[in-house]
Amino acid sequence: MKDVRIQFGSPGNVKIIKIGNEDNIENILIGACQKFEVNEFDRYCLRDHNTLENMEKISQDTILLLDYCDIVLAAKSVKDLKDNLNDALQTKKIIFQLQKYLKLENFSIEFLKMNGLQILKKIALNNGGNILAYTLCCFSNCLKYYNGEMFEEIFDVDFINFLLNCVFTPTLTISRWATATLICIVQQDVFNLEVILTTGERFSDLIDKLNSSDLQTQLFTLQLLNSVYKRILKDERVINGELEIFYGSKIRDTLIKFSFIDEISDEIVKFQSLFVQNCYFKRNSLVQDYRRYLERFSLQDDLTEMVISAIQGQTCNVLNLSNLAHFVKNNSDRFLKMADLNFSFCYCSFEITEFLSYIWHFDSKVISNNRIDPPLLCLERVHDTLLTTVFRIWREERANVKIEFLIDCHKVYFKNLLEKEEFTWIDQFETFANSLTFNEAKEFYELHKLDGLMNSSNIKQRIQCLTKGEFFLISSKELKLQKAKMFIRLSSSQKYLAFSIEETSESVSNKLDLNSISNIKWKKENSFFHIFLHSQENVVADLAIESETSFNEWLDGLSFLILDKCQTEETLALINNLSNLELEARVFNIDENESLERNRFNYSDISLPSDCEFKLSDNQIKDIFYA
């Protein structure tokens, strides 16, 4: 037996009852009702004293509350609210207690069935101060379980405007809960977004609330913005840019300032994900009327004509044109200089936008990371910075370089920069770009023609060879080995080489940490190919093997792991081919999963001679295979 404390009614009315281990919750409820001399125990339930949740299991330390069951309590609450509409003090007491109960799903469902929302609406419209704050909190709590019944009647235009007014009230509690209520309303599928979208100025003011010094207000405001963004994302007006006032650079610039605050960082990442989807839709929507689209950027007439003239006859998506228009509007003097020098601004701008689409997955609508990426949120500024950098270097080197090669160099350089560096501020990125020289971009391009080589099929094959293992003659003072025939394999973690006497041996006699290797050299001596693994001071190991194929595989595999480059001509040629194929795939927008048609020729019409024998040497077969 154990003692359990149960409260009924006022806080001081507490009694202790003894329960056995075999007692179920129904028996305990009956015992509690008898203890407090309460009849009709079927109208009651036992709740957790703190959370008000219905209890299913009783522990000795739990304080219980003998209370009306959900359906009875919901009916009583609605009746009490109706009976006390004109009594502010009683209404305040009932609403205050109701906030807690409306967090419970079963109670909220019963409350909603009894037209509880209509009563809450009436109270909200006729009261202020704490009563209004408590009422809005009740709205927010129970709307999570609302099925949308009689939605338009309850949440009409006037009431939505009333809630928007509450959002901008100086009283924090009212503002917060009005915002939380609007979040729940916007998430309802039956809600007509036009009610909010026609209040453009108010929406712009809502973005300003992100600058509030109150963290909870910032969080609720961003949650509301994200809720609306998610609902309107596939709206044609968003794609065409008419709603950029809501989700243009203003809100993104504001969010970057608060990206270091952990409490709202998750919501910023959600916004960032929605922004990527927005860019995806814009990238996949063609502009039908260039002049009409450019009108919303309020460009000077001569600038508009220059842009239209440059893109005339081309197909242009919304994302490409919006980035170009942003550059022209904010860099008009530089744009005029580009035009005077016959710089291919349109080609370069579109190439840069496509490059950024590749980096930030605008081509797939799925964001690749869960961290805040300031350059991504400053898309237009990054585009403008890259276009300016290309133009600056082109002016310096135009006599010696083609614009296509210059663009390719920038793609490789900035792909590495944007993927490897974590920029806290966009100014950091602009500093990198403004200091870039052509020689730096060109050298980097030559070294990293295909960034991410470890992902290409031939490199994977090289690494797999290392993992599979091979026999070498190894000489190493460090490992005290002299021309010892050892089986060497790469560890599964790719952090060290393991040496064993036999291929099938599970025991490892020596290990060589790859972090200790700073350079790799090789030479051919007699019939053996030697791979020398160097530390900062000396040669750590000499790996010798007769097979040229195995030598190439191991030399390149180790070079990629340690030096991030290859050393054999065979692999360099393969990488160059892959680079060209990747570039062509982007230019022609080829989906890597898309099968290419192979019916240019009718192979069924080709008959092979039956009276000949074909004999090819191994070298001839190689020549045909690699042709």
Could you tell me which residues come within 8 angstroms of residue 533 by beta carbon, excluding any fewer than 6 positions away? Answer: 512, 517, 520, 539, 540, 541, 542, 543, 558
Tokens (6 digits) for 277: 């989807």
Q: Under a CB-based contact definition with an 8 Å cutoff, are residues 513 and 450 in contact?
A: no
pLDDT computed for residue 50 by the predictor: 81
Fold classification of 2-68 (topology level): Ubiquitin-like (UB roll) (3.10.20)
CATH architecture of 455-575: Roll (2.30)
Residues with pLDDT less than 70, the chain: 1, 21-22, 59-61, 193-201, 234-247, 363-369, 449-459, 504-509, 564-627
Query: Tell me, what's the pLDDT at 504?
Result: 63
CA 410 to chain CA centroid, nearest Å? 25
pLDDT of residue 612: 45
Give me the pLDDT at residue 625, please: 43
Q: What pTM was estimated for this model as a whole?
A: 0.65
Q: Which two tokens stand for residue 179?
A: 């915002």
CA distances in angstroms from 146 to 99, 106, 139, 150, 283, listed in the order given: 16, 12, 10, 10, 37
DSSP class of 475? E
- Backbone φ/ψ region at 36: left (φ over 0), alpha (ψ -120 to 50), beta: alpha
What are 427-472's pLDDT values in tens digits?
A: 888 898 999 999 999 888 877 754 444 445 566 777 888 988 999 9
Whole-number Å distance between alpha carbons of 309 and 311: 6
Confidence at residue 457, expressed as pLDDT on a 0 to 100 scale = 57
- Residue 543 phi/psi, 5° resolution? -105, 120
CB count, 10 Å around CB of 101?
22
**Predicted local confidence at residue 220, as pLDDT:** 92
Long-range contacts of 35-39 (CB under 8 A, 24+ apart): 35/6, 36/6, 36/8, 36/66, 38/8, 38/66
Please report which helix (H) or strand (E) contains residue 579, including its range.
Answer: helix 569-587
- Ramachandran quadrant class, 494 (left: phi over 0; alpha: psi -120 to 50; beta: rest): left
User: Contact 143/111 with Cβ under 8 angstroms?
Assistant: no
**Residue at token pair 């203003």:** 250
Distance (Å, whole) CA 331 – CA 349 = 13
Query: What's residue 605's pLDDT?
Result: 44
327 vs 313: CA distance, rounded Å: 21
Cβ proximity of 19 and 28 under 8 Å: yes
What's the chain's average pLDDT?
A: 81
- Gap between the Cα atoms of 455 and 118, Å rounded: 60
Picking from 152, 228, 162, 238, the residue whose alpha carbon sits closest to that of residue 196 is 228
At 180-211, the pLDDT tens digits run 999 998 888 777 766 666 555 677 788 888 88
Task: Spell out the residues 6+ positions from residue 377 whose beta carbon is closer than 8 angstroms to its own.
Answer: 252, 253, 255, 256, 272, 275
Residue pair 44/59 in contact by the 8 Å Cβ criterion = no
3-class secondary structure, 436: coil
Task: Sketch the domain layout of the chain as residue ranges.
Answer: 2-68, 71-232, 290-448, 455-575
Strands, sheet with 496-500, edge to edge from the N-terminal-most edge strand: 510-513, 496-500, 481-490, 470-476, 539-545, 528-534, 519-525
Angle of helix 116-125 relative to helix 105-113, nearest 10 degrees, comes to: 80
CA distance 503 to 486: 9
Residues sharing a CB contact under 8 Å with residue 524, sequence separation 6 or more, in sequence order: 530
Right CATH for 71-232 from 3.90.1150.10, 1.10.1040.10, 1.25.10.10, 2.60.40.10: 1.25.10.10
* Spatial distance between the Cα atoms of 447 and 35, rounded to a whole number of angstroms: 84
Closest CA to 485 of 467, 466, 470: 470
CATH topology agreement for domains 71-232 and 455-575:
no
